[in-house]
Amino acid sequence: MKKASYLILIVLFSLLIAGCTATQKDPVDEVDDEDQTELLNDGELAVSFEFLDYQGNTVTLEDLKGDKVYLKFFASWCSICNRGMPELDELFASDRDYIAYAVVTPNANGEKSIEDFKAWFSTDDFPNIVVLFDVNAKFSRKLGAISVPTSVYIGSDGVLIKSKAGHSSNDEIEAFIKTFQ
């Protein structure tokens, strides 16, 4: 009987300690309450990402606020991605009312390092494609890009509208961009 009482007491004490322990949130997942009031689109806010551009400058979601954003996640080893590069270059060259970036995840998921990727990727062949680096794939999964190619659409209010795995034609991208603010 005493053993059962001690066991119950230990379990209750453990639960009390666990319930009082503060959990740490990843700052990437935190959302300001003031941002919630100005949403134009239905859905949750996209994770506040930080990517590097070709020159090593940081590009954040906050930098792009007020503009619709299209992100094309791809990989150098992906044959579907590579076959779609000429079409993607055409999209990037077109007049559009949204910002577009191609995103790779160096040093993750079999992708080359930034230096090796830059040596592989020909800006002569695809002069209009603007590449960003999600170093070690820190944000890709949080944006719904769990495979390549993946198209990610973010509203002008920062809402993650859709993540779609697989190839999307320029016509599909352009048509979908028109469905949200």
DSSP per-residue string spanning 64-93: GTTSEEEEEE--TT-HHHHHTHHHHHHHHH
Distance CA 50, CA 63 (A): 10
The CATH architecture assigned to 26-177 reads 3-Layer(aba) Sandwich (3.40)
Q: What is the pLDDT, as a whole number, of residue 14? A: 47
Q: Cβ neighbours of residue 158 under 8 Å, at least 6 residues apart?
A: 35, 45, 46, 61, 65
What does pTM read for this prediction?
Answer: 0.79
161 phi and psi angles, rounded to 5 deg = -80, -50
Q: What is the pLDDT, as a whole number, of residue 10? A: 55
**Owner of token pair 């954003």:** 69
Q: What is the pLDDT, as a whole number, of residue 123? A: 85
Q: What is the pLDDT, as a whole number, of residue 1? A: 60
Q: What is the pLDDT, as a whole number, of residue 11? A: 47
Counts of helices then strands in the chain (DSSP H, E): 6, 7
Q: Give domain limits for the chain.
A: 26-177
Q: What is the pLDDT, as a whole number, of residue 147? A: 95
Report yes or no: 149 and 73 within 8 Å, Cβ to Cβ: yes
Interior/surface letters 90-125, b for 16+ CB within 10 angstroms, e for the rest: ebbeeeeebbbbbbbbbeebebbebeebeeebeeee
Q: What is the mean pLDDT of each run of 10 residues along the chain (181 residues)?
A: 56 41 38 59 96 97 97 97 97 97 96 96 93 96 96 98 97 98 97
Start-to-end CA span in the chain (Å): 66
C-alpha to C-alpha distances, 163 to 107, 118, 141, 160, nearest whole angstrom: 22, 26, 10, 8
